[in-house]
Amino acid sequence: MAVTMAEKTCVVVGVGPGIGAACCRLYCERGYKVAMIARSPDYLNELAATLPGTSLSLIADVTDEEAVTVTFGKIAKEFGRVDTLIYNAARGSFGSFLEMRPKDLSKNFEVNTMGLLYCARAVAPGMIEREAGSILVTGNTAATRGGAKFAGFAPSKSAARSLTQSMARELGPKHVHAAYLVIDGAVDGPFARNLRKDKPDEFFIKPDDIAQTIWHLDQQPENCWTSEIDLRPFGENW
């Protein structure tokens, strides 16, 4: 029996005022129930008040496997099945391999890679059982190459990309779609605008347009799945 959009659930992990919020808005507009996960309640409460559909706000530390299990148990109790997981949680620190603090790299792995593992393992069994579902992971160019000042960050993003590839290879034959987005550009928002005050509008990549691409990946037929896609403004130097 076909499932309507109103019966579907999207979980967005790592909800802030950029990509996470854009995904929450879009999926609510498309009729999904949306579960939003973040580290603090402040922005979630503000965002929830503006969403045009059903949402659930949850506070969780994605580096804590037990906390992730409890959180997804709450989602299952409230909404039932999870049809789409968008993993947007990220942590970054920068510096050369001589300058960085090793514990920062370790913490980046916990958020960028282990958190993804915990969340994916929470939803994948149900998706495999139903032979349907999507796990979509946001990342960046650091996942594809390590710059001199990215030694404390790039390894954790590369690991998340490789993990997504492994998931795609395993889950694809089971009719579950896993894909990684290489987002190469400054994501439009107060933080990026403040850092690059000299740049015109077209320099920035828009969160709403990233969300539209995520939606497109989610809705692809399985005979034509994208497992990795890169997004960048036309002026980006790559």
* Per-position b or e across 156-179, b if 16+ CB within 10 A of its CB: bbbbbbebbeebbeebeeeebbbb
User: How far is the C-alpha of 90 from the C-alpha of 98, rounded, in Å?
Assistant: 23
Can you tell me the mean pLDDT for 97-102?
Answer: 83
Backbone angles phi and psi of 145, in degrees to 5 = -160, 150
Q: Which two tokens mark 221?
A: 């037929």
According to DSSP, the β-strands at 84-87 and 177-183 are: unpaired
Q: Which two tokens mark 218?
A: 């989610």
Which among 6, 11, 7, 60 has a CA at the least distance from the CA of 36?
11
Domain boundaries along the sequence of the chain = 5-231
The pTM (predicted TM-score) of the whole model is 0.92
Backbone angles phi and psi of 147, in degrees to 5 = -80, 165
Architecture of domain 5-231: 3-Layer(aba) Sandwich (3.40)
- State the amino acid at position 193 in one-letter form: R
- Give the CA distances from residue 20 to residues 37, 44, 97, 138, 210, in Å, rounded to whole numbers and listed in that order: 9, 10, 30, 10, 10
Q: Is the pLDDT score of 166 beyond 70? A: yes
H helices present in 131-188, as ranges: 154-171
Q: Is the pLDDT score of 119 beyond 60? A: yes
Q: Is the pLDDT score of 3 beyond 60? A: no
- State the amino acid at position 213 in one-letter form: T
- Give the CA distances from residue 19 to residues 99, 116, 164, 191, in Å, rounded to whole numbers and listed in that order: 30, 16, 19, 13
- Predicted confidence at residue 4, as pLDDT, reads 59
User: How far is the C-alpha of 140 from the C-alpha of 208, rounded, in Å?
Assistant: 17
User: How far is the C-alpha of 6 from the C-alpha of 28, rounded, in Å?
Assistant: 9
Can you tell me the mean pLDDT for 13-30?
Answer: 95
- Terminal C-alpha separation, the chain: 46
Residues forming beta bridges with residue 186, ordered by sequence position: 204
User: How far is the C-alpha of 92 from the C-alpha of 99, rounded, in Å?
Assistant: 15
Q: Which two tokens mark 130?
A: 């139903």
Model confidence pLDDT, tens digit, residues 178-218: 999 998 877 777 777 877 787 887 878 899 999 999 999 99
- State the amino acid at position 48 in one-letter form: A
Give the distance between the most distant pair of CA atoms in the chain. 57
Model confidence pLDDT, tens digit, residues 40-80: 888 998 999 999 889 999 999 999 999 999 999 999 999 99
- Quote the mean pLDDT of the chain: 90
Among the residue ranges 95-104, 108-117, 186-195, 196-205, the one predicted with the least confidence is 186-195
Can you tell me the mean pLDDT for 85-112?
Answer: 86
How far is C-alpha 19 from the chain's CA centre? Answer: 8
User: How far is the C-alpha of 174 from the C-alpha of 185, rounded, in Å?
Assistant: 33
Q: Is the pLDDT score of 26 beyond 80? A: yes
